[in-house]
Amino acid sequence: MRAPAGDIEIEYETSGDPDDPPLVLIAGVGAQLTWFHRELCEAFVDRGFHVVRFDNRDVGRSTWVDTDVVAGDAIAALFAGEPAEVPYDIDAMAADTWALCDHLRLDRPFLFGVSMGGMIAQQAAIRSPERVGGLISVMSTTGDPDVGQPVPAAMEAMIVPSPTERDRYVELAVEKGRILSGGGDLDLDWVAERAGLAFDRGINPQATARHLLAILASPSRSDGLRTLDVPALVVHGDVDPLVAASGGERTAECLQGSEYLLLEQMGHDLPRYHWATVIHHTVALASRSA
Mean pLDDT of the residues in the chain: 96
Which of the four pLDDT bands, split at 50, 70 and 90, describes residue 195? very high
The stretch 197-221 carries a mean pLDDT of: 96
Model pLDDT, residue 79: 85
Model pLDDT, residue 86: 94
Dihedral, CA of residue 43, residue 272, residue 281 and residue 91, to nearest 10: -90
Q: Could you tell me what percent of the chain has a pLDDT over 90?
A: 92
CATH class assigned to 2-289:
alpha beta
For strands 22-26 and 50-54, give the pairing: parallel
Model pLDDT, residue 3: 84
Model pLDDT, residue 243: 98
The stretch 119-142 carries a mean pLDDT of: 98
pLDDT tens-digit map of 230-245: 999 999 999 999 999 9
Model pLDDT, residue 80: 87
pTM: 0.97
Which of the four pLDDT bands, split at 50, 70 and 90, describes residue 4? confident
Model pLDDT, residue 138: 98
Structure letter (DSSP) for residue 19 = T
Positions of E strands within the chain: 2-5, 8-15, 22-26, 50-54, 110-114, 134-138, 232-237, 259-263
Model pLDDT, residue 290: 81
Q: Examine the pLDDT at 264 and tell me if it is beyond 90.
A: yes
d(CA 219, CA 132): 21
Which of the four pLDDT bands, split at 50, 70 and 90, describes residue 250? very high
In the chain, domain spans:
2-289
**C-alpha to C-alpha distances, 64 to 16, 30, 58, 125, nearest whole angstrom:** 28, 12, 4, 25
SS3 state at 127: helix
Q: How many CB atoms lie within 10 A of CB 229?
A: 9
